[in-house]
Amino acid sequence: MATATVAPAGLDRETGLTLYRLMQECRLLETRAQELFFEGLVRGTTHLGVGQEAVAAGFAVAMRPDDYTFCTYRGHNHNIARGVPLAPILAELFGRSTGLLGGKGGSMHLTSVEHGVLGSYAIVGAHLPIALGAAWSAQYRRSGQVAVCFFGDGTTNIGAFHEALNMAAVWKVPVVFVCENNQYMEYTPIGAVTAVARPAADRASAYGLDPIVVDGNDVEAVHAAATEAIGRARDGDGPSLIEAVTYRHGGHSRADPGKYRPDDEVAAWKARDPIPAYRARLEAAGVDASELDSIDEATRAKVAAAEEEARAAPEPTAEVLETQVWADGTSRWRN
Amino acid sequence: MGELTYRQAVAAGIAQEMERDETVVMLGEDIGSAGGVFKLTEGLIDRFGPERIRDTPISEQAIVGAAMGAAMTGLRPIAELMFSDFFAVSWDMVANQIAKTRYMTDGQVALPLVLRTANGAGLRFGAQHSQSVENWVMAIPGLKVVAPSTPADMKGLLAAAVRDDDPVIVCEHKALFAEKGEVPDGEHVVRLGEAAVLREGSDVTLVALAAMVPRALAAAERLSVDHGIDADVIDLRSLIPLDAQAILRSVAKTSRLFTVEENPRVGGWGAEIVSLVADEGFYSLDAPLVRITTPHIPLPSAAALEDLAVPSVDRIVETVTRRLDEAR
C-alpha cells in the first residue's frame, strides 16, 4: 500500500495465535456454509467475507468486550470474531429455532447483544447513523465504550455515509468507521462508479478527518490501525475513518461465481490470502507449525460440531411468529 | 389545573420527562438556542443544557438513526423531525430499521425512542410541508403512533411515549399549536391506546383524530341543534395501539359510523376502522360506513383550496345529514 500510514506492530505470541484462530474460524465456518448452501440446507441468501477475515479479526481483538460492533449483511466474520458461538449462527442460516435470532432474521441480520454485536444491517449505509447514535450514547453516559462500524466500499456513495460522518465529526463521538474496500460494489468495480480513487480515504478530509489506508489482508496492520483509532475514540478525540483494502475471494452473494472479475486479478489476491500469509509470519517468528496445525484441527472440529448441532435443531413453530414486535414480547396493536 | 397552549404543552411534556429521567435526551434541527422553528422546544436548552438538547445538521437519516443507536444502548432519545413530510427522507430509518429490528433480532434489543413531528395542514405551506402522514407510519408493523388534539393530551401522551419501551411517533398538529386548554398540574401521563369519548350521543358515531377532533365536535353541536342528530364523538388519540373496543362500543349504540380524516383517502386510517367495524360490528349497523377525508390529492397551498381539501365542519355536517337521509 503506497499510502499506508499504519505499519504492522509486532504482537505478542498469544495475541498472534488468537488472531490466527479467529481468522480460521471465520474461514472454515463460511466455507462450510457455502457448501451447505449448495446442498440446500442454508436457505435464502448469504454474503461471504472469505478473503476479508483479517479486518474482522484485527478489529475484534483490539476492542474492549463492551465495545459495540455494527456490520453489514456480509457480517458472519464480525460476529464470529466477537465470540458469537458458531452453532446458533449456522442454525440461523438453516432457519432453525435455535438460531441466533430464532429464525426471524437470517444471515443478513446476525446480532448478539451479549457479545457487543449490535447488528448486521442489510440496507446499505443504514448502520452508520445508528453506530453514531450508540457512540453518542457512550459519550453521554461517559462509559468509555467505542462503536466500530464496518461497511463496504459501495456504502461510501450513499447519503447516510455523508450524514453520519459529518455529524460524528461535529459531535466528536467515539466511533470508528471502517470501510472494507473489497474493490467491488456488488458486481461493479468501485472505481467505475466513484469519483475518487480511494472511496473512503479520499473523502476523509471533507469531515476534517485524516485519510487512513491500511492493508486489510495484513491482520497485524489492521490490529495496529484499530488499536490506534479505538484508543483515540476512547480518549475523547473523536471519530476515525479507516479504509482497509482487501478482496472478496468469491462472488457478491449466494451462487454468484464473480465472473465479472479478471482471472489474473483474482489469482493475485488469492496469492495474498491473509490466513496463509499470517501463518507464514507466525512460523517465521518461531511458532511451531504443529501448534498452528492443532488450531486448524480444533477449529474444523468446532465447525463440524456446530453443524451437527444446527442440523439437529427443530424448525421454529407458529407460536413465535407473532412475538417480539413490542418490548412486552407481543405484537398486539389493538384491544 | 393551569391553561397552556398546545405548543407550550409540548415543551412541558418534554421537561417533565427530562426532569424525571436523565437518560432522556433530545436531538433535532434548530431545537436548541433557536427553540425550534415552531418554538416547541423554547427554554429547554437553558434548563437542560446542550448535552441533552442537541442541535443537528439538516440530516434526517442521521437524526433518526442516531436516536435508534442511542435507544439501543441505554438512552431514551426524543428526535424531532421538523415536518412530518420529512419522514420521506428518513424512511429507511423509520420503516426498515426502527420498526423491524426488535422482531428481526428476536427481542434482543428494545428501542425506547420518540419521534416528534409537525403534521398536518392549516398553515398554507403547500404539499411538501402540510400533509397528514399518520397513515404512512401506522402501516408499518413495529411503530406506535399517537396524534393528540388537546394541550392536556399533548403533554400526557408525549410523556407516555417517552416512558414506553417501543418506538412511538408523536404527530403534533400544526393547526393546533396556538390552541389553549386546561392541563392538570403536576405529573401528567395519558396511557397509549385509549380513545377519549368527548361527546355522548345515540344517533351517529364520529371518529376523529388531531385537528379533526375540534371540527367533529363543532359539527356534532350543529347536527344536534340544527338537525336533531345526536353524535358520539370519539377522539382516537392513538392509532397504534388502537382502542378498537371504544369504537365497537359506540357503534353498538349508534349503529352508524363516520370517520373524519385529514389524511388523503386511499389507505387512510379510517379504512382500517371501517374494515374492523364491518367485520366485528356488522350486525349492529343500520347504515353504510362513511369516510370523510381529504381527497386523494397532494395538498394545495392557496388558503381557499386547502380549506376545500381538508374536511371542514360544513362538510362533516353536510355529509352526515345527506347520508342519513339516504339511509332512511
pLDDT tens-digit readout, A268-307 = 999 999 999 999 999 999 999 999 999 999 999 999 999 9
Identify the CA nearest to B114 among candidates B56, B47, B174, B68.
B68
Q: How far apart are CA A78 and CA B106, in angstroms?
A: 19
Cα radius of gyration rounded to whole Å, chain B? 20
For residue B133, the enclosing domain spans 2-183
| B190 falls within a domain | no
**CATH number for B303:** 3.40.50.920
CATH architecture for segment(s) A13-314: 3-Layer(aba) Sandwich (3.40)
Residues of B designated catalytic: 129
Q: Is residue B94 part of a domain?
A: yes
Q: Are residues B179 and B275 in the same domain?
A: no
B268-314 pLDDT per residue, tens: 999 999 999 999 999 999 999 999 999 999 999 999 999 999 999 99
Portion 116-145 of B in contact with A at CB < 8 A = 141-142
Three-class DSSP category at B268: coil
**What average pLDDT does the structure give for chain A?**
95
pLDDT of residue A1: 40
Phi, psi of A277 (to 5 degrees): -60, -40
Q: Same domain, yes or no, for B138 and B13?
A: yes
Q: Decide if B189 is inside a domain.
A: no
For residue B241 the three cell numbers come to 395501539
State residue A260 phi and psi, 5-degree precision: -75, 5
A67 within 8 A of A147, measured Cβ to Cβ = yes
Q: Tell me: do B170 and B206 sit in the same domain.
A: no
Q: Which three cell numbers stand for residue A287?
A: 511458532
Instruction: Grade residue A132 by pLDDT with cuts at 50, 70 and 90.
Output: very high
Q: pLDDT per residue over B127-136, tens digit each?
A: 999 999 999 9
Q: Give kind and range of the element (H or E) at residue A151.
A: strand A147-152
Residue B27 resides in a domain: yes
Kind and range of the H or E element at A272? Answer: none
pLDDT of residue B328: 75
Mean pLDDT of A109-125: 98
Rounded CA-CA distance B296/B304 in Å is 17
State the pLDDT confidence band at B207, using cuts at 50, 70 and 90: very high
* B191 located within any domain: no
CATH of the domain at B38: 3.40.50.970
Residues A125 and A159: their CA atoms lie apart, in Å, by 8
| Region A14-21 average pLDDT | 97
Residue A4 pLDDT exceeds 50? no
Q: What is the pLDDT of residues B68-97, one digit of tens each?
A: 999 999 999 999 999 999 999 999 999 999
Start-to-end CA span in chain A (Å): 62
CA nearest to B113, candidates B157, B166, B65:
B166
Torsions phi, psi of B229, nearest 5? -105, 125
Whether B178 and B204 share a structural domain: no
pLDDT of A83 strictly over 70: yes
Q: Do A335 and B92 touch (CB under 8 A)?
A: no
Q: Read off the amino acid at residue B306.
A: E
Q: Which residue of A has its CA nearest to B194?
A: A335
Interval B163-182: pLDDT, tens: 999 999 999 999 999 999 99
**B106·A102 Cβ contact <8 A:** yes
Q: How many domains is chain B partitioned into structurally?
A: 2
pLDDT score of B1 more than 90? no
Per-residue pLDDT at A9: 56
What ipTM was estimated for this complex? 0.96
Predicted local confidence at residue A10, as pLDDT: 72
Percent of chain A clearing pLDDT 70 (strictly above): 97
> What are the pLDDT digits (tens) for B116-151?
999 999 999 999 999 999 999 999 999 999 999 999
CA distance to partner chain B, nearest, from residue A146 (Å):
12
Q: What is the pLDDT of residues B230-242, one digit of tens each?
A: 999 999 999 999 9
Looking at the domain assignment, is residue B52 inside a domain? yes
Strand pairing class (A212-215; B76-81): unpaired
Note whether A129 contacts B: Cβ–Cβ < 8 A: yes
**Structure confidence at residue B99 (pLDDT):** 98
Q: Is residue B217 located within the same domain as residue B178?
A: no
Q: Is residue B66 part of a domain?
A: yes
Among A67, A1, A53, A2, CA closest to A223? A53
Of the residues B183, B206, B222, the one at which a domain ends: B183
Give the whole-number percent of chain A exceeding pLDDT 90: 94
CB contact under 8 A, B96 and A123: yes
Whether B87 and B130 share a structural domain: yes
- pLDDT at residue A11 is higher than 70: yes
- pLDDT, chain B, mean: 97
Say yes or no: B12 and B152 in one domain.
Answer: yes
Q: For residue B213, how far is the Cα from the chain centroid?
A: 11
Nearest alpha-carbon partner for B222 in B211, B237, B206: B206
Using the Cβ of A130 and the Cβ atoms of chain B, whether some distance falls under 8 Å is answered with: yes
